[in-house]
Structure 1
Amino acid sequence: MNQFTMYENPPSEITCKSWCIYSLKELQVICGANQNMQLQIASLTKMMTYIVVLRFCKKHQIDIDNLQFVVSRNASAILGTSSGLKVGDQISIRDLLFCLMLPSGNDAALCLAENIGSLLYKMQKGLVKSAYVIRNLNILNIQNESTAIQSCSVMSFVNEMNNMAQELGLNETKFSNPHGLHDKVNVSSAKDMAILTREIMKEDKFTLQLCQAKSYQFEVKNQIDNTCRQINLVNTNKLLEKPGYFGMKTGYTNSAGGCLASLFKQYDKIMAQTVEVIIVVLKSDSMENRFVDTQLLVEWYFRQLNHKIKERCKFYEQSFKQMASLPS
């Protein structure tokens, strides 16, 4: 348990198979159970999709408001959670990232992977000679690319996800897709997902805004029927309604169970400081219990902290009394 003293056992009511609590002050997992166990992670996968896209854009000085992607037939037809994208929708990277993280849109995940992946593939093959060309793109439509680029784009993106996992030391992590739909080889661990959450928190103000957003609205133009409509997104993370919770990502499939990565901040009066922790739960037995498990673990953790501080204060008080009783 990494030198973390438990004064009571973790809550027996928790249903998750794996969990960990990661301190943003100590930059390590301070307690957990089965935190290194490889499990399917469902849409927590999208956290890596998010960070790969954002860092690619920063590296190549791409303005996420200016560059727009056109939604492909494959992206619009993908199964699972959706942000309501249609074939021919023309959407900025910024709006796609909100679609990715708030309603956990598999359509947005595939659209981002197809288009960023096509740029990665072109760069690897020498088909794009200059970063200047990438910076000055306005619209990218994967369906206008060659069959070779279309077939290799998503795999190029997934390869980049795995490269970044290696760079971050995510030793139990292997990605096979950008969205987290069921795949036995798309796996990670609670510890690795906590580290990934920490990395996301290092990003800019946009990331902080996105992670805390309960909802988001934007206008989208469709190239096919030349219409405009408003898309309204709602965050799937119910804990944002609770004090102290600031993100991060939900996930659920039948095989992965309920998954949740959360950031929690609280000012502790006894410690006289703000405590920031990341909590990851994997394979809770329902969508609802991923939230319940997280709350139970947060409440338990802060009880342990407060008990530790009270014990320390009691020790110092007794020491001072003993010193005061000594003859001068």
Structure 2
Amino acid sequence: MKRKRICLLIIIFAIGLWAKGGEWFPKDIPFGDDVFKEVSDLRQVSDQKIYSDAAVLAEQKSGRILMNKQGNKKIYPASLTKIMTVLLAVESVSNDEKEILMNQDIFQSLAQSHASVAGFLPGERVKIKDLYYGAMLPSGAECCLRLANYLAGSEEKFALLMNQKAREIGMKHTNFVNSTGLHDPKHVSTAEDLEILLRYALKNPRFRKVFETMQYRTEPTQKHPEGLLLQSTLTDYKDQLKPTNGSFLGGKTGYTKEAGLCLASWVNIRGKRYILVTAGARGDHQTRPFHVLDAESIYQEL
């Protein structure tokens, strides 16, 4: 009987301590079954062998990091850069139905770079909104350069705006020097910073609409009377990226020889949304899609 009374007193004391704000556990750790599942997921995903040199997996709503493999390592972001380019454009342009001219000098600057293009032509008048999709889906460099010139007067000045925005949203280890992600030793970021960028960008409804689109036809122009059909670079992998217990919501690929294969993707699994950024997977467009394989294996663990 005495032992029961002692146990009861301990329970009452514990309840009182909790009610007055006593901390048995740190405040940022959730209680209940979810915490055990998240810790389990963290261990399983972290132990998973992945091809990418750097990877960060996070819950979109809370920003909670569930996996971090060298997330603070300096990387070349390649075309994941275009997430920032399109974000700045949708935040800055009030009338994206406006038509602007695709200047010849844009295409001359890209001639030697082997950059991916959406398919717009010199002298074509294109609606600004179509440039968002051209930059994001087929990763069109001509779209990025035209947006940069339109918004800032030059790509160099646009890069200043990119870096200003990066600092504002907490990207502490990023430096942009261009709007496309074409290789430059000074054009660097981290997987952690890119996760911060995408999480921020997805709060913007106009950006989110572009990011979750897999196929889009532009408005008719004098150069493309039926419009230009744009397809995401992930079109061939959308079924592979679909989680077993959820849906694939959108993504952006990146590749340069120096950056390797990169991917920023967004999924819904069991009612929760997750962001995954991977970078530095060895390979190219002729090898197996190691960035996609990484995303597939990581999402299967959730």
TM-score category of the 2 structures, normalised to the smaller one? 0.7 to 0.9
1:88 paired with 2:86, answer: no
C-alpha contact (below 8 Å) 1:240/1:246 kept by paired residues = no
Question: Sequence identity of aligned pairs in percent?
Answer: 25
Cα deviation 1:169-217 (Å, max 9, x = unaligned): 100110000000111111111111111111111011x333322222111
C-alpha contact (below 8 Å) 1:214/1:235 kept by paired residues = yes
The match for 1:282 is 279
Task: Please identify which structure carries the higher strand content.
Answer: 1
Query: Structure 1 segments of 4 or more deviating over 6 A?
Result: none
Cα deviation 1:277-303 (Å, max 9, x = unaligned): 100000111251110011111113x1x
Counterpart of 1:74 in 2: which secondary structure? helix
Counterpart of 2:228 in 1: which secondary structure? strand
Q: What TM-score comes out, normalization by structure 1 length?
A: 0.72
Distance across 2 between alignment mates of 1:29 and 1:175: 24
Offset, 1:10: 3.2
The match for 2:102 is 71
Counterpart of 1:39 in 2: which secondary structure? coil
Offset, 1:87: 0.9
| Stretch of structure 1 that moved more, 23-32 or 173-182 | 23-32
C-alpha contact (below 8 Å) 2:253/2:264 kept by paired residues = yes
Distance across 1 between alignment mates of 2:63 and 2:48: 27
C-alpha contact (below 8 Å) 1:90/1:220 kept by paired residues = no
Cα deviation 1:117-170 (Å, max 9, x = unaligned): 12xxxxxxxxxxxxxxxxxxxxxxxxxxxxxxxxxx221111100000010110
Counterpart of 1:20 in 2: which secondary structure? strand
Distance across 1 between alignment mates of 2:60 and 2:295: 17
Offset, 1:227: 7.2
Structure 1 gaps of 5+ residues are 119-152, 268-273, 303-328
Distance across 2 between alignment mates of 1:248 and 1:200: 12
Distance across 1 between alignment mates of 2:45 and 2:207: 35
1:258 paired with 2:274, answer: no
Q: Give the letter aligned to residue 96 of structure 2.
A: I
Distance across 1 between alignment mates of 2:146 and 2:128: 10
Change (3 A) 1:43 1:7: closer
The match for 2:73 is 37
Distance across 2 between alignment mates of 1:185 and 1:263: 28
Counterpart of 2:218 in 1: which secondary structure? strand
Counterpart of 1:255 in 2: which secondary structure? coil
1:272-311 to structure 2, matched below 5 A, reads 274-287=271-284, 288-300=289-301, 302=302
Distance across 2 between alignment mates of 1:231 and 1:88: 15
Distance across 1 between alignment mates of 2:58 and 2:44: 19
Counterpart of 1:178 in 2: which secondary structure? coil
1:16 paired with 2:52, answer: yes
Instruction: Quote the RMSD (CA, aligned, Å).
Output: 2.0
Counterpart of 1:221 in 2: which secondary structure? coil
Distance across 2 between alignment mates of 1:196 and 1:174: 13
Offset, 1:25: 3.1
1:231 paired with 2:228, answer: yes
Cα deviation 1:41-82 (Å, max 9, x = unaligned): 10000000011111112xxxx2111x2221112323413110
Change (3 A) 1:31 1:86: same
C-alpha contact (below 8 Å) 1:22/1:278 kept by paired residues = yes
C-alpha contact (below 8 Å) 2:221/2:227 kept by paired residues = no
The match for 1:168 is 169
Counterpart of 2:145 in 1: which secondary structure? helix
The match for 1:240 is 238
Structure 2 gaps of 5+ residues are 1-27, 30-37
Offset, 1:221: 2.7
Distance across 1 between alignment mates of 2:276 and 2:138: 20
C-alpha contact (below 8 Å) 1:29/1:191 kept by paired residues = no
Distance across 2 between alignment mates of 1:54 and 1:157: 14
Q: Give the letter aligned to residue 129 of structure 2.
A: R
Change (3 A) 1:229 1:75: farther
1:180 paired with 2:194, answer: no
Q: Give the letter aligned to residue 102 of structure 2.
A: V
Distance across 2 between alignment mates of 1:51 and 1:9: 30
1:112-261 to structure 2, matched below 5 A, reads 112-118=147-153, 153-204=154-205, 206-222=206-222, 228=225, 230-238=227-235, 239-241=237-239, 242-243=241-242, 244-261=247-264
Offset, 1:220: 4.3
